[in-house]
Chains A and B, each alone.
Chain A
């Protein structure tokens, strides 16, 4: 295992009955990295994350998480791994504060429960029973329980489902804070702008395999992709031209229009364009 790898996966396979969920998946995630897993419903993201957590068995393949095989986790290893599942979680008669303080007691070096409650924006609800929380507030409690132990590695499966836009930004800040402290973070999401905002690197999974991997800005050749220059013709109809040299195109247009170019836009493929192409659902525009 390379120095500084938090997670290393080779040839991971898993099937449920007849369904092949993972079909030879490889991953390398460096310590301290924020790593995003993207992929359509049923691609195998949750299965991957659950195997990394040690909560799901695998059929074959090598897996090393924080230097250990998650299939045989010990208590110290568990103390270093924080988990937020895609589907949580029991609704209890406990209050938010009681729940967070209770879970803090399981760990050798927990974070301050009050601080964690504030980090997920639940201060006002600290004395409410969990069953009285809204869906998004429950989800925030899940996140609080994932980080309460001060994990070295945090595994988040669609953590922001049900978050309102403010809560989402607050969550992004939390992730950046944790990343700045050196926490390795792996998260799955269906929100591409979230992946772009948070992840140092991304992997796109489809049908149980990694189909592309890289930083969001250059995933699958996105950085080198040809740009499209859009402008409005004299008749007001939009024109566009795909080009590898957009600056030259704009310069020549400027000369042609002798000054301002009406309706000028220069675009490159968005993460969504790249993503849709990768999973073979290209939007025929």
Chain B
């Protein structure tokens, strides 16, 4: 049994007149507690995760996509990079983990929320006393679970096939932890924000995928960071993906590989700062711009 199945003991409808007809305003007797946002967020998270895994096609493609890309890039570019003690394949393992994190958060939320808005799922939820925070918490749970799974699958592939080493020190695991959490949160919030841009569910995929693709090119996902023109990298560094990639490289590549970075160092502090700023800024953006209805439907 799952959370949603364990319904609470249902209150019987009150007998005629107990507190119904006469008191239309109905204040006094409605003092019972409304279910809390945190609890309903867990409930929604459990449901979202169950629904996600019921859509088998979606599951297969979500997880297969970055693996296929990893295989392509890591096989095409596999040379040892000079003075870094690492191979291009290993570089792409970290890139694809970053890209996988962004696709399970930014892309999947951006598209799915736009579709739910269009299909009136949001309207139905707005018609219930569910607090809006519960909806977003549910999405965050979904993103965390799928993001962790995606990362685990890519890491398993990367360590067995391309000889990437798991972090060897507690310090690196810690870095991995905060880079993952800040990165996935920032991208998820950006995804929620961009879901308000498309006018309908049908256009959502194009609206969301284009900026994601562009970001992947200018953030060093597909193209090695030392090959991208500086001005592009500068644009990319305003967004979280570039820092997510850089943070993951600092966890999984040898210290010498820091020479690849434009700054010649991992810049952990700046990574934390930018990702953290995106979490706050993204939250603000969501609060200011989130729409429950399609645009123009007043």
Q: Please, which residue of chain B has its CB at the minimum distance from the CB of A6?
A: B24
When C-beta atoms are compared, the residue in chain B nearest to A150 turns out to be B13
Interface hit among A36-44, A180-188, A205-213, A232-240 = A180-188
Known: A94-B47, A102-B43, A109-B32. A182 touches B127 (CB 8 A): no
CB distance B30 to A76 under 8 Å?
yes
Known: A80-B26, A87-B120, A108-B33. A149 touches B51 (CB 8 A): no
Q: Does A66 contact B (CB under 8 A)?
A: yes
Q: Is A111 an interface position by the 8 A CB rule? A: yes
Known: A6-B24, A75-B129, A106-B128. A182 touches B17 (CB 8 A): yes
Complex CA–CA separation, A74 to B129 (angstroms): 8
A90 near B11 with CB under 8 A, answer no
Let me know if A107 is at the binding interface, CB within 8 A: yes
Contact between A112 and B10, CB atoms less than 8 A apart: yes
Q: Chain A: which residue is nearest B47 at the CB level? A: A102
Chain B residue nearest to A65 (CB atoms) is B24
B34 in contact (CB, < 8 A):
yes
CB within 8 A of A152: which of B15, B26, B120?
A: B26
Closest B residue by C-beta to A53: B127
Interface-forming stretch among B1-9, B73-81, B156-164, B258-266?
B1-9
Query: How far is the CB of A88 from the nearest CB of chain B, in Å?
Result: 7
Residues on the B chain within 8 Å of A168, using CB = none
Contacts of A91 in B (CB 8 A): 119
B269 at the A interface (CB under 8 A): no
Given known pairs A6-B24, A106-B128, A108-B32, the reply for A93 and B123 (CB within 8 Å) is no
Report the separation of the CA atoms of residues A89 and B118 in the bound assembly, to the nearest whole angstrom: 10
Contacts known (A150-B13, A181-B20); A76 close to B124, Cβ less than 8 A: no
List the B side residues contacting A108 at CB < 8 Å: 30, 32-35, 129
Decide if B126 is an interface residue (CB 8 Å cutoff).
yes
Fill in one digit per residue for A128-170: 1 if any B CB lies within 8 Å of its CB, else 0. Answer: 0000000000000000010001101000000000000000000
CB distance from A59 to the nearest CB of B (A): 9
CB distance from B41 to the nearest CB of A (A): 12
Report which residue of B23, B116, B127 has the largest number of chain A beta carbons within 10 angstroms of its beta carbon: B127
- Cα A89 to Cα B124 in complex, Å, equals 8
A98 within 8 A of B: yes
Q: Give residues 64-120 of A contacting B (CB, 8 Å).
A: 66-68, 75-76, 78-81, 83, 85, 87-94, 98, 101-113, 115
Whether A107 pairs with B128 at a CB distance below 8 angstroms is: yes
Return chain B residues, CB-CB under 8 Å to A67: 24-27
Q: Which residue of B lies closest to A183 (CB)?
A: B20
B11 and A31 contact, CB distance less than 8 A: no
**Bound: A180/B27 CA distance, A:** 21
Tell which of A66, A78, A85, A152 touches B129, judged by Cβ atoms closer than 8 Å: A78
Q: Please name all residues of chain A whose beta carbon is closer than 8 Å to the beta carbon of B129 when the two chains form the complex.
A: 75-76, 78-79, 106-108, 149
Give Cα A66 to B30, complex, Å: 13
B21, A85: Cβ atoms closer than 8 Å: no
Given contacts A76-B30, A76-B129, contact A109 B11 (CB under 8 A): yes
Cβ A101 vs Cβ B298 within 8 A: no
B131 at the binding interface (Cβ < 8 Å):
yes
Known contacts being A103-B128, A105-B4, is A184 close to B24, with CB within 8 Å? Answer: yes
25 pairs from A and B in contact (CB 8 Å cutoff): A4-B24, A5-B24, A32-B21, A76-B30, A76-B34, A87-B120, A88-B124, A90-B120, A91-B119, A94-B51, A102-B4, A102-B47, A104-B7, A105-B4, A105-B43, A107-B129, A108-B33, A108-B35, A110-B11, A112-B10, A115-B10, A152-B20, A152-B24, A181-B20, A183-B20
Interface set of B (CB-CB < 8 Å, partner A): 4-5, 7-8, 10-17, 20-27, 30, 32-35, 40, 43, 47, 51, 54-55, 116, 119-121, 123-124, 126-131, 293, 298
Contacts A55-B293, A75-B34, A104-B8 given; 15 further ones with Cβ under 8 A? A53-B127, A56-B298, A66-B25, A67-B25, A78-B129, A90-B120, A90-B124, A94-B47, A94-B51, A98-B47, A101-B7, A104-B10, A106-B35, A106-B128, A107-B129
